[in-house]
Structure 1
């Protein structure tokens, strides 16, 4: 199956205990530009004009994150938000990267592109 943004946007996160194979990661990163691997997680920094826009973005992604039941670590400053996704249930609870991380990354990117870019 071909991985692209449209495919990821159409999917829903599901409970998993299986991390993605390392050989699959390049295709997922190609479908989610700007996201990078940071150990057992994927990370992206979003930049804004001011604190109000930063908080508006967080509020905008809150529903999607909740609906997907896949909650990232957020680092919030005046004009940026760093989002870190990983899947805590993979690798015997040690965490790692699953397709759920990329599904949510694509959905967060779509919100940013629609409202903040």
Structure 2
């Protein structure tokens, strides 16, 4: 499954993924981990400018997918946390956006 090529679904009526499905999808996302009901990764950069450029690009992706992460922005790192709050846990949308974020960081 190529998560980067998928698009998020409307969030109303979504249900959290099973633990097995979450673990299968997590295998496609290096260095991401599940923390409670969030999919999390810390991205590190050389300086504040690069951190902010990344955060702004993540915001652009999130806007296009209508699925927005919680972001913690620091001088040389950004912590990205995806969760589908309306579903009370992780959905496919979270993994799609994480994959798109991962692809962005790889550029």
Q: Give me the whole-angstrom Cα distance separating, in 2, the residues matched to 1:86 and 1:112.
A: 19
Q: Give me the whole-angstrom Cα distance separating, in 1, the residues matched to 2:72 and 2:84.
A: 18
Question: Quick one: which of 9, 14, 38 aligns to 2:4?
Answer: 9
Residue 47 of structure 2 corresponds to residue 50 of structure 1: yes
**TM-score where L is the length of structure 1:** 0.86
Instruction: Write out aligned runs for 1:96-115 (5 A).
Output: 96-114=89-107
Gaps of 5+ in 2: none
Count of equivalent residues? 105
Runs of 4+ deviating beyond 4 Å: none
* CA RMSD of superposed structures (Å): 0.9
Residue in 2 that maps onto 1:59: 56
Gaps of 5+ in 1: none
Instruction: Write out aligned runs for 1:16-55 (5 A).
Output: 16=11, 17-55=14-52
**TM-score where L is the length of structure 2:** 0.94
Cα deviation, residue 23, structure 1: 1.2
